[in-house]
Chain A
Amino acid sequence: MSIISKLKKHNILGRSGSGFPVGLKWEIVKQAKANKKYIVVNGAEGEPNVFKDKYILENYPEEIIQGIKIALETIDNSSAYIYLRKDYYKKFSKDLKKLIKGLPIELFEKTGGYLAGEETVVCQAIEGGKLEPRIKPPFPSQEGLWGCPTLINNVETFYCVSKIAKNEYKNNKFYSISHDIKHKGVYELPEDSTIKQILKQTNNLPDFDFFVQAGGGASGEFLLSKELNRQVKGIGSIIVYNRDTTNAFFLMKKLVEFFHKENCDKCVPCREGIYRINEMFERKQIDKKTLKDLFFVLEETSFCPFGKGAVNSLMSLYSKLLK
């Protein structure tokens, strides 16, 4: 059975947060007609409080390289980049280079911030262009690096590929668990686990009143303790907050500042909308109608997933804990 068939059979979804079917992506790139194709391993890991790619780079570098090797064999005329955030590059490049040996794999040190993990911005970064998202379509799998079909997958996805190839895949996923808990860390658990199960199994279920942000430390949705019988959407992370010791207004203010600083200023809703939300939080004068309107245009009209991600986190936090 080919790797693509196996990926499809196991219904593997990308581990970057967007959850695109991996088998389908590989098939598109494989079938694209081009003299040159690229593979990019995305190790940008820009969401705050998410550190599972780091964990995998540290503990399973052979599996990652094995996964890339399979991709190189599957996709003709291809070469690969491992795109790593600065500190990961420093920490892991030496070991990775040893494993790469003669393979056509290059390491690339990430430039830019949060947004530089978005797949089209990754292409811009590697090409040395402006760190702004590109119009989609064309998707990178059609026209990515230098206009060539490009397979971009998360570090964890390549780990999964190597496991699947060896028939060792157990439908697991990596979860970063952090903040007001006792056992901070990365855990490999079944991908259909609920948040509650994960917290329980890792001995992290608090005995105090709490809420969580699941699926990314910036864009993840905020959930109350009664809403935990569901899987983690987006990237595998759970951040636990003690409800009594956490100032939700301050938390939101920090998040808004983050989005204000990290957005690329390209489109009106992100540049101007987040500017105005930030202004309201700085002045501590929240106009509910305006906030609602700004969430609306961010959600509906922003250029790239950044705006939607911001709304996903900010709106859930505001409506559940601040209103």
Chain B
Amino acid sequence: MSKDKKISITINGKKIKANSGQTILEAALNNGIDIPALCFHSDLKIKSNCRMCLVEIKGKKGLHASCSTKAESGMEVITDSAKINKARKINLELIFSQHCEECGDCIWNFNCELSKLAKKYKVEITRFSDRKKGFPVYQFGPSIIFDSSKCIDCGNCVEVCENQGVNFLEIRKKQNVSQIIPSKDKNKDCIYCGQCITHCPAGAFQAVGEFEDVEKFLKEKRKGKTIIVQFAPAIRTSIGEEFDIPYGTTITGKLVAGIRKLGVDKVFDVSVGADFTTVEEADELIEKIENKETPCLSSCCPSWVKFVEFNYPEFIPNLATTRSPQIILGGLIKTYWAKKQGIAPKDIVVVSIMPCVAKKYEIQRKELEINGLKPVDYVLTTRELAYLFKKHKINLRKLKPQKSDAALGVSSGAGVIYGASGGVAESTLRTAYAKISGKKLSKIEFKQVRGMKEVKKAIININGRKIKLVVANGIGNAKKILEELKKNPKVYDAVEVMACPGGCIGGGGQPVPSNEINRKERAKGLYKIDAGKEIRMAHENPIIKKIYKDFLNNSQIIHLVCHTKYSAKKKENKF
């Protein structure tokens, strides 16, 4: 039977078309029919744990979970009946007995499925006493907080953690009831990707500082500091979701205007930093190819770097030493720009807006300090910035677009696509191609490495030299690539890895829900920006050329601002 074969079923008397093989829930959602589902996530396997998506099927006894029941031709489904509602209400009351919470500080905020359902089914939230009162709150590094007293045991976090090849979150029985806890195994540690946050339906996971400390950086102003905010490539097509702007809409200008309204001194675009990363990484790639030291592994994803350092330290020599875009730009702000402006670097506070919670970990790395100063002082996630905007009554929808500060220039198109899986590889190749061949690329786009596919492979011919490239998103996929490389180090020359699905556009700091639908649109938005840019190659960007000429003009300073080192890591999160 072909997968595309259409069948028709009836839901609540309405005839709809479904793809053969689809579940009732998928068919309903595709046709705009709402069925409540908590443990369902399009990235994950069907677990059918929460028992909320119950429906009745004519001719079949009892209630059926629509997430795990395939739609069959001619099926008559009812999603709303006294029996269904009663079952949903009682199961919700049981779910709430694990989740008696105050809703003020939750990443789901006004978009909480649990509280919506509570209203709809007139749920007596406190019918049962709070079973999880006093359950522990765990902090994973400087990145993630897991409040296990909010957990509804759906197991989504455990599954994403397993898919990442990390296996740090586990289900264990304690006093006859299962609990989700961090692993005590010394060979398992969190890599701070934050996918647990974006896949938890109950807000049990959040970023460190997500609510209480979100304004801390603004207070530095009172101490006479200059506040610089720099925003990542992947933010401009995602933060709009927090303000009901359609998926994938580019709102760079409104974003800049919003940040300025917070009262900061300068707003820079991390995509410019990405252009520096591209130039340096292209040089590294070329060098590694010439010295036969491939594979060269990308290193701008801090979760991936931590994973290599902890799980595969034998690959540390292969990691590109080039710093990530936020770190390079932060470093340039506190050196090159500070000098130009006549501001003491210690009086500058750099705040990054990132789609990521691992970036909070990255900025704490000692080896990144320049003259004793951290290149970046604070990292806020996309969600945190949106929360801050709302707190300050800044509505992005209503703002007039502004340009980011020009002192550090404008990025090339290459710098913007960093936010999508394959973007770093494409940017690096554009530059490496030009550097090796001395020619301009006739076709600038490397479509083979674009898209949401988990692993993308391409062989790029430069001057007769074949470069074997592989791009992976999701650490579980990257793990397979490392295992391949262990057996044969020559299978790939260049490896790009992003820990999160679809790359940074699906990062752990992005708005929720985050799924295959909005990720696709977020990425599309970035490629559209690139296509519309006049300068699309990092090394052709005039500001890059200028700074290399005026400032980054000897290997010592290049090393200080643009490169770093790695070391094998021991387990950091012990409980």
Contacts and interface: CB of A to CB of B under 8 A. Distances in A.
A1 interface: no
B86 interface: yes
B25 interface: no
B547 interface: no
Nearest to A133: B48
Interface stretch (A181-189, A231-239, A298-306): A298-306
Interface stretch (A103-111, A194-202, A267-275): A267-275
Nearest to B131: A275
B63 interface: yes
Interface string A264-283: 01111101110110000000
A297 interface: yes
A300 B87 contact: yes
B87 A297 contact: yes
Contact of B68 (A135, A265, A271, A276): A135
Chain A facing B: main interface SS = helix
Nearest to A278: B176
A248 to B, nearest CB: 23
A293 interface: yes
Contacts of B128: 272, 276
A260 B46 CA distance: 25
A303 B48 CA distance: 7
Interface in B90-105: 90-91, 94-95, 97-98
B83 interface: yes
A296 interface: yes
A300 B62 contact: yes
A96 B402 CA distance: 81
Interface in B512-546: none
Given A297-B87, A297-B91, A300-B87, A265 B177 contact: yes
Interface stretch (B49-57, B191-199, B211-219, B424-432): B49-57
Contact of A301 (B46, B70, B91): B91
Contacts of B47: 266
A268 B95 contact: yes
Interface residues of B, number: 31
B496 interface: no
Contacts of B48: 135, 267, 303
Contacts of B94: 268-269, 272-273, 276, 297
Interface in B165-218: 171, 173, 176-178
A266 B49 contact: yes
B280 interface: no
B173 A297 contact: no
B554 to A, nearest CB: 57
Given A266-B49, A276-B128, A271 B90 contact: no
A296 B51 contact: no
Contact of B90 (A137, A265, A296, A302): A296
Contacts of B65: 301, 303
A44 interface: no
Given A135-B46, A268-B51, A272-B95, A293 B177 contact: no
Contacts of B87: 296-297, 300-301
Interface in B123-152: 127-128, 131
A301 B51 contact: yes
A268 B54 CA distance: 13
20 contacts: A137-B70, A261-B176, A265-B177, A268-B51, A269-B51, A271-B153, A272-B95, A272-B98, A272-B128, A275-B177, A276-B128, A293-B90, A296-B87, A297-B51, A297-B90, A297-B91, A297-B94, A300-B54, A300-B83, A303-B51
Given A261-B176, A268-B91, 17 more contacts: A265-B153, A265-B171, A266-B47, A267-B50, A268-B49, A268-B50, A268-B95, A271-B177, A296-B86, A296-B90, A297-B51, A297-B87, A297-B90, A300-B63, A301-B65, A303-B48, A303-B51
5 tightest Cβ-Cβ pairs between the two chains A and B: A272-B94, A265-B178, A301-B51, A135-B68, A297-B90
